Amino acid sequence: MEIFSKDYKINVLILTMIDQVDVTIQTIETLLQGDTSGVIISVLLNGGSDFKLKELLKTKDCFRYYESDVNLGVAGGRNFLLNTNECKDCDLIIIIDNDVIASVDYIRNLATFLISQGDAGVVGAMIANLDYISYDVLKHYGEQGTFGNKILKITSAEIKKYILTDLNSLRFYFVGSHPDYIYAWFSPVRVFYDIINIILSFLKSEKQLGPINEVDYKKSLRDNCEKYTVSNVPGCNQAFKRTLIDEIGTLDDIFNPWGFEDVDFCIRAVRAGYINYMDTNTWIYHGTDTRHIKKDKDSRIEVYFKGLTILGLKVFKPRLLAVVKILSLIVFEYLFSLPLFNFKSAKAKFRGFLKGVIAYERQGNFRFYK
């Protein structure tokens, strides 16, 4: 793809599973709406085989299709794709979930933004929530995609225009995470602000408390800022230069089956001296299937705290500090949940903490004093 008078090879990575083939096909169809010159789309079916998908992706030269008999997890599956020949040969990498709707200009816009930021580590497009789509957006639905499905054909500018008419939090899947990753993930103070802000939102107040929060990011959108800094770009939509992998490595599969492998990767980019950005002029919709909400709530909480514990053990030295930080978060959130009698949730968090410690210890590098 020619950007700033230079040709770039772009590799888009998509991970899917046997029960997610149909939504994956629709995601691919939205990607094919735009400019795909110099783009290879690599797809891994994680833990199974599907003849339909395999044959479908033979129809275009831009596809590379792989299957794994065993489920490699999110980090393991994406690492498989990061180590393919086409990925090793590319200039820019885009990781995208298989349940998104890409805007027509998604690949070109995000690649151009990434190249234009000399200090960028990981960048991402703004992510709108498909569950709260407006009628104006639905008017763009109905055109036939490459494989015959009806798709949403819409530009980033059009999505942004509709979002700016009503910056309700429900319309966003992800706005931003505090640029200080310690505050974003490990500060009990953040939990306090989160709870207060939930109450303020319930009371329909525009006011939000905290050093940097959702209101600040929304203000950046209103003021037409082209970017803002975040500590984490979510794994459903990440772009980075191939050279970043050479410098900081691939995803850490200790986080399998899922959760926090994207956060850890972004933190490593920050620690290597880079800045992670959200590109406010590139947009996607997320959530074309219901697999996220189908997961049992307590199971999700347990996996979340397992990943958070592992992340803390990687970030803090001595490791004992990580243990204190995570336990403080659990206790702090537990105290705030007492009026709701949410004891089951607190147990799930503690189970996740224990599983995180055990998973990290099994790597053979866990010592409280190191």
Q: What tens digit of pLDDT does each residue of 200-233 get?
A: 666 666 555 555 556 678 778 888 889 999 999 9
Q: Does residue 256 share a domain with residue 342?
A: no
Q: Does residue 240 share a domain with residue 140?
A: yes
Q: Does residue 269 share a domain with residue 316?
A: no
pLDDT in tens, 304-347: 889 999 999 898 887 778 888 888 877 776 665 554 446 677 78
Structure tokens at 125: 């497009």
Q: Among the three residues 293, 310, 331, which one is the final residue of a domain in this structure?
A: 293
SS (H, E, C) the chain: CEECCEECCEEEEEEECHHHHHHHHHHHHHHCCCCCCCEEEEEEEECCCCHHHHHHCCCCCCEEEEEECCCCHHHHHHHHHHCCHHHHCCCEEEEECCCEEECCCHHHHHHHHHHHCCCEEEEEEEEEEHHHCCHHHHCCEEEECCCCCEEECCCHHHHHHHHHCCCCHHHEEECCCCCCHHHHHHCHHHHHHHHHHHHHHHCCCCCCCCCCCHHHHHHHHHCCCCEEEECCCCCCEEEEEHHHHHHHCCCCHHHCCCCCHHHHHHHHHHHCCCEEEEEEEEEEEECCCCHHHHCCHHHHHHHHHHHHHHHHHHHCCCHHHHHHHHHHHHHHHHHHHHHHCCHHHHHHHHHHHHHHHHHHHCCCCCCCCC
Determine contact, residues 152/140, Cβ cutoff 8 Å. Answer: yes
pLDDT in tens, 141-175: 878 888 888 888 999 999 998 888 887 777 888 88
Q: Is residue 207 part of a domain?
A: no
Q: Kindly state the percentage of the chain with pLDDT values over 90.
A: 51
Q: Among the three residues 255, 276, 293, which one is the final residue of a domain in this structure?
A: 293
Residue 2 bridge partners (DSSP): 7
pLDDT score for 231: 93
Q: Among the three residues 244, 259, 293, which one is the final residue of a domain in this structure?
A: 293
pTM above 0.75, yes or no: yes
Is the Cα torsion angle 284, 251, 330, 322 positive or negative in sign?
Answer: negative
Q: Is residue 187 part of a domain?
A: no
Q: By residue range, what is the domain housing residue 333?
A: 297-361
Q: Does residue 318 share a domain with residue 254?
A: no
Q: Number of structural domains, the chain?
A: 2
Q: How far is CA 249 from the centre of its chain?
A: 18
Stretch 284-301: mean pLDDT, rounded? 74
Q: Does residue 351 share a domain with residue 240?
A: no
User: What band does 292 get if pLDDT is binned at 50, 70 and 90?
Assistant: low
Q: Is residue 192 part of a domain?
A: no
Q: Which residue has the tokens 């959200």?
A: 278
Q: Is residue 50 part of a domain?
A: yes
Name the amino acid, one letter, at 224.
N
Q: Does the pLDDT of residue 295 top 80, yes or no?
A: no
